[in-house]
Amino acid sequence: MRSVLTVTMSPSIDLSAATDSVVPVRKLRCTAVRRDPGGGGVNVARVLKRLGGHCSALFPAGGSPGLLLHRLLDREGIVSMPVDIAADTRESFTVADRASGDQYRFVLPGAELAPEEWQECLDRVSALAEPPDYIVASGSLPPGAPQDFYARLAHVAASAGSRLVVDSSGPALAAALEAGVYLVKPNQRELEELTGSPLAREADCTAAARRLVDSGRAQIVALSLGDRGALLASREGCLRAAAIPVKIVSAVGAGDSFLAAMVWRLSASDALDDAFRYAVAAGTAALLTPGTELACKEDIERLYRDVAVEQPP
């Protein structure tokens, strides 16, 4: 099993709770309260750990929320590499409305980073005595971080001989792709932003993903299509997996679970189609857990058997 480092520039403390009904003005009494370490790369690290992967997590952390983030990751047995910052680590929260079954997700802005703080994150990766085989950069960039941060990380990864995996959006994702990455995991909306045009048909999505591979901007494109499943494009061709029908409890962390399972199997040198099947199973498994709980290994292994992969027309 190869080593993985996750980089999360906007980590968070994710608070989740449930209330009978979300209505204005009235005090909403909440129950089922839990706090979890969060942010794209942090979530990837949590799922990788559950699956038995070798993973470390690098993230900027500040104030009492930053200390709590570190403590919660320690509790899950994840090797943390916090970079001290002046601002407090952000907090976000999710509220489930029992009456309607709807889920409300409130995402607060990331802690603002000074130039020396985001540079320290890059320097810490560069200074690793043993470069990781995979670097997973996941999530949005916080205020203060340059839009080409992931592109700079791509150059660090290339110098170290690491494979960079990116899950982000907007200009940060576009800049990373211009630098070249190993794997990218956009959703359909993010791919449309990259191409600058609507991708109304699945054939349009397939063609856009193939163009990213053919241009050398990514070796692998794992495109999540929500309730329609997922699509994979690589130099070996394209694969398509339909969604597994399940009753959705919470959509939090589905994309992160998808990415974690895929990197887990790729780091074990599994075939690309098998890694893709595990990714779809993990993304589906995350839908079965409440709040910010993420995917469980038992659910992933069970759902893996139900994933059907085929070549798109």
Whole-prediction pTM: 0.94
Residue 179 contacts residue 154 (beta carbons within 8 Å): yes
CB-facing half-sphere around the CA of 73: CA atoms within 13 A: 32
**Token pair for 296:** 């469980």
Q: Distance between CA 243 and CA 256 in Å, rounded?
A: 16
pLDDT in tens, the chain (313 residues): 689 999 999 999 999 999 999 999 999 999 999 999 999 999 999 999 999 998 999 999 999 999 999 999 999 999 999 999 999 999 999 999 999 989 899 988 989 999 999 999 999 999 999 999 999 999 999 999 999 999 999 999 999 999 999 999 999 999 999 999 999 999 999 999 998 989 989 999 999 999 999 999 999 999 999 889 999 999 999 999 999 999 888 888 899 999 999 999 999 988 999 999 999 999 999 999 887 788 999 999 999 999 999 988 7
Q: Distance between CA 252 and CA 14 in Å, rounded?
A: 10
Q: Distance between CA 94 and CA 107 in Å, rounded?
A: 8
Q: Distance between CA 292 and CA 16 in Å, rounded?
A: 7
Instruction: Sketch the domain layout of the chain as residue ranges.
Output: 3-21+30-310
Report the catalytic residues.
256
For domain 3-21+30-310, the CATH class is: alpha beta
**Token pair for 213:** 């591979």
Query: How many Cβ atoms sit within 10 Å of the Cβ of residue 70?
Result: 20
